[in-house]
Amino acid sequence: MWCMTTPFKPSSLSDWETAAAKSAPGGDVAALNWHTPDGITIKPLYTADDVKDLPHTNTLPGFEPFIRGPQATMYAVRPWTIRQYAGFSTAEESNAFYRKALAAGGQGVSVAFDLATHRGYDSDHPRVTGDVGKAGVAIDSVEDMKILFNQIPLDKVSVSMTMNGAVLPVLAGYVVAAEEQGVAQADLSGTIQNDILKEFMVRNTYIYPPEPSIRIIGDIIEYTAKHMPKFNSISISGYHMQEAGANQALELAFTLADGKEYVKTAIGKGLDVDGFAGRLSFFWAIGMNFYLEIAKMRAARLLWCRIMKGFDAKSPKSLMLRTHCQTSGWSLTEQDPYNNIVRTTIEGMAAVFGGTQSLHTNSFDEAIALPTEFSSRIARNTQLIIQEETHISAVVDPWAGSYMMEKLTQDMADAAWKIIEEVEAMGGMTKAVDSGWAKLKIEAAAAEKQARIDSGKDVIVGVNKYKLKTEDAIETRDIDNVAVRDGQIARLKEIKLKRDAAEVIRVLAAIKNAAETNTGNLLNFSIQAVRARATVGEISDALEAVYGRHRADTQKVTGVYAAAYDSAEGWEQLKKEIAEFGETEGRRPRVMISKLGQDGHDRGAKVVATAFADLGFDVDMGPLFQTPEECARQAIENDVHAVGVSTLAAGHKTLVPAIIAELKKQGADDIIVFVGGVIPRPDYEMLYEAGVKGIYGPGTPIVASAKDVLEEIRKALAGLQK
């Protein structure tokens, strides 16, 4: 029998440092530290000394400050809810998808609306010709809502709706569709996003200015607290912040600061904090920084408990943060797309280890097009495998007591709290958003991240390292935008013929009066209007007549991309070529970066504009939501050499040919057009035939695209000289 002949002698930290120095670069152990974009340093080794002063390491799940989870038993008793965020063209198609997903193991419905609906336009509006049915389902009235939830029992199935701008008519449509299904408001469960502050920072599917938008949020919290006790009145979202470029600390800080602002709003309406705070929920993005994402979710619960105690909340439900998570869409790559299955699996596990209450896993083809049924099944099964096969859910918080994770949780909380204090010093999140400061912080982080990828400092497998020589084609989903729009317009005409026109005029006037006089509850009035068959566009127009429609500033950050890109290959040479162009032509190459239609996702546009400007281009930013006619007119007035169209919402097949035709119509076909964003490979040929000079999908290094654009401008000028 073997036995130890000498007593065990634990090694000291200095012993480890001596051993580690032998293999560390230059013998410097500090060189092994990872300095994250969040300003947090992660060491290769943690010990008991790192956590000895932390107050939260001995807490239990289900108890303050809820670091280890909001419920005592977490997944050991009830696993997280598996959701599938989807909406495809028509209510009929989306309904069929939801029913299949529920039958195959989905446990809730999560609705993606098209951009026309988000922005409060009916499908027959001239500004949305390229957006109807793209990137989500088109909803114009309660008749569409009834089809969307046909044969889905709304008293039994939880429904999550990502909606902010047109939140009043959409939530009202859901309530009335349920009523006509025989389901009382009190029996409805689910979540409406209703988080407008983040829209002004990143996603841009707002309609009204910040102040009246906050009033709408307060009315929804008030109404649901009284009439819909099972329904979450707001999902305070960091997801779109990270998708727009925020690091984890920024996402955490700004999201909690938004939540703090919404609590103030509800209290300002006379609501008791414990009467509504238990129905607030949060929504996080889960990216590829595995440790940071887990720490972020644990730190979020710690900080939210602290914030709610500041409002004198007493109920444990008011103090605990509950959350939905979605794996990152931005981390998905067009190149070697099957790698995305692995990325999504890792992100899904981070969400689970962080203690999410529900989860959506993205499909591997979403950097290319809307997901197919095949890719959606893989995404859903990813969760089922984690839930059913791994036994991960048997342990409440497997990271508790980890020296590294406990210290990282505190570091993340400290980094976020510092930002929250900056926001408070400005007067709160509404003022921080209104000033443009918050948006620029996120855009700077996005530019820095893109520069690290383009320069190879951050590795993306299949994009800037381990690249395939040839890419295999994959099946993609295509939406016939024209057919969807025609169908929606026909249904709108039918509704308007059958309804009581005088009653519609009356209920819309009541909404307008409530907005003008700041009286009554706008959700209550919207429900009455929807019952009368008023449309999404009509209700939105009634409010717009009072509040106006918000227009975003087009300012951009400068110098950030160049600083992070440093001296990587090709940068200085291209800057020299651009300077030489300016000397030869008498002015620098001038480009206009544009977003057409209702696609407000402007991360790519802002990063490209920043990088091109840092290289030496003159760069104009077109305002969001331009029509092709407006874009062409601005390009001509600004005398640009090229227009770059950024697209993420699948409107390129309609809108890009339209801008080329409009430039030609206005006698400016010498202005070249290039396109970047989420564009399926099968669409490339069509765009080139339409006259596009360059197409740059996700993962294209900006320096490579800038060099290409410069060469195309030279060719165009040479053609003019001939």
**Catalytic sites, residue numbers:** 85, 239-240, 595, 599, 601
Q: Which residues of 240-272 are buried (b: 16+ CB within 10 A; e: fewer)?
A: bbbbbbbbbbbbbbbbbbbbbbbbebbbeeebe
Q: What angle do CA 333, 335, 340 make, to 5 degrees?
A: 45
Contact present, 458 and 452 (Cβ < 8 Å)? yes
Phi-psi region of 400 (alpha: psi -120 to 50; beta: other; left: phi over 0): beta
Between β-strands 34-35 and 41-42, what pairing exists: parallel, antiparallel or unpaired? antiparallel
Beta-carbon contacts of residue 107 (< 8 Å; ≥ 6 apart): 81, 82, 83, 158, 358
Token pair, residue 77, equals: 């008793």
Beta-carbon contacts of residue 324 (< 8 Å; ≥ 6 apart): 83, 160, 191, 235, 281, 282, 283, 284, 356, 357, 358, 359, 360
- Please provide the size of the chain in residues: 722
Q: Is 4 exposed, middle or buried (0-12, 13-18, 19+ CB in 10 A)?
A: exposed
Q: Is 92 exposed, middle or buried (0-12, 13-18, 19+ CB in 10 A)?
A: middle
Contact present, 349 and 398 (Cβ < 8 Å)? no
| Whole-number Å distance between alpha carbons of 519 and 523 | 12
Whole-angstrom distance between the N-terminal and C-terminal Cα of the chain? 94
CA-wise closest residue to 164 among 240, 92, 91: 240
Q: Any idea which residue has 């999902």 for tokens?
A: 235
The sign of the torsion formed by the CA atoms of 564, 567, 569, 574 equals: positive
Within 62-166, residue ranges assigned H as helices are 91-103, 115-118, 142-148
Output the DSSP codes for 484-538.
Answer: HHHHHHHHHHHHHHHS-HHHHHHHHHHHHHHHHHT-S-HHHHHHHHHHTT--HHH
